[in-house]
Structure 1
């Protein structure tokens, strides 16, 4: 599966709605600064994210430290219940690797890691299509995409960056016509 197909699949499977987004509104007061996850959790999330967005001719999720982003985002923007569910998702993901393959996720071959993530994503898509609550893996998928494409690396080396509204021209001749509105 190539990156484009995977992104299309993830968008379809997750309904493109970011889990936890309501908790990240600018006017909601949150406590920030204390990361509730260990460096090992961030490394594990980087491994998983790299399977979702692998390095190809462009950098992958690990290069953007998406795992580190996820731990900070969940710690600072998720409610206590959402944080607990995310922690349970990590435990479930680690357990899946142990139960199905008999070894930790990091010890799996690249093809085993890909097969595992594809199997879980397929189950998430099926549950989503049934109208059930979001699958436990959905936030990990969504935060991987969100973290990567909003990172400096993702925005500048993978996406085409277009500054908005454009360059600053401070001394423009005004002809008396209507002003611009955007």
Structure 2
């Protein structure tokens, strides 16, 4: 063996040894990503997977952060654990089970395991069959508000968690922690972006 061949083989061996951890991490990254990246407080793992899938489908990451980027699923789990009474918690658990059972019957699997197309069809079905919020004037409902059900209530909570997050409030919406003069009557065109504060 000449010196040039020995150097090539040594370089290949060194490259394989150095690159093995990188290749292993790539293989692991390509594995199915259905495991949770957070530890739920109230929800069990299957319910937490449902919540993560629901949040991610409703608010996927685009050029702006998605619902999972601001940890809306983690926040909702904490809300259920800390602010819901026992009856409310039982309701949430039973409604998640009903939602998943409905998905199995119509699409063949639980919500977290559905294709994007089936998730869209599921959302469309729930959107058309869920009661709506009553119209509001200055934040107050006009007329009586019937219960909106689990789907619309959860959707509303996810949106609230997202838009209340520090990331969205400071970096997506307009933010001015020390506002200037009060201008009570200005053209809407001068307002610009939606304000978080």
| Match among 107, 111, 135 for residue 117 of structure 2 | 111
**Residue 107 (structure 2) pairs with residue 101 (structure 1):** yes
Aligned counterpart in structure 1 of residue 150 of structure 2, from 130, 136, 147: 136
Which deviates more, 66-75 or 149-158?
149-158
Q: What is the rounded CA distance, in whole Å, between the counterparts of 1:44 and 1:54 in structure 2?
A: 15
Aligned mates of 1:110, 1:147 — CA distance in 2? 23
Where does residue 16 of structure 1 map in the other structure? none
Cα displacement (A) at 1:146: 1.4
> Per-residue displacement from partner, 1:129-150 (whole Å, max 9, x unpaired)?
9964221212211210111111
The change in CA–CA distance for 1:72 and 1:36 in structure 2 (over 3 A counts) is: same
- CA contact under 8 A between 1:124 and 1:138: conserved in structure 2? yes
Residue 47 of structure 1 is aligned with which of 40, 43, 53? 53
- 1:13-92 pair list within 5 angstroms: 35-92=41-98
State the match for 2:128 in structure 1.
122
Q: What is the root-mean-square deviation of aligned Cα atoms in Å?
A: 2.6
TM-score (structure 2 length as normaliser) = 0.59
Unaligned runs of 5+ in 1: 1-33, 167-182
Q: Which has the larger radius of gyration?
A: 2
Q: Deviations over 1:72-93 (max 9, x none)?
A: 0111011222211111221111
Tell me which of the two structures has the higher relative contact order, counting C-alpha pairs closer than 8 angstroms and 6 or more residues apart: 1
> Does the 8 Å contact 1:35/1:75 carry over to 2?
yes
Alpha-carbon distance in structure 2 between the residues aligned to 1:134 and 1:81: 17
Aligned length: 133
- C-alpha change, 1:67 and 1:35, in structure 2 (3 Å) is same
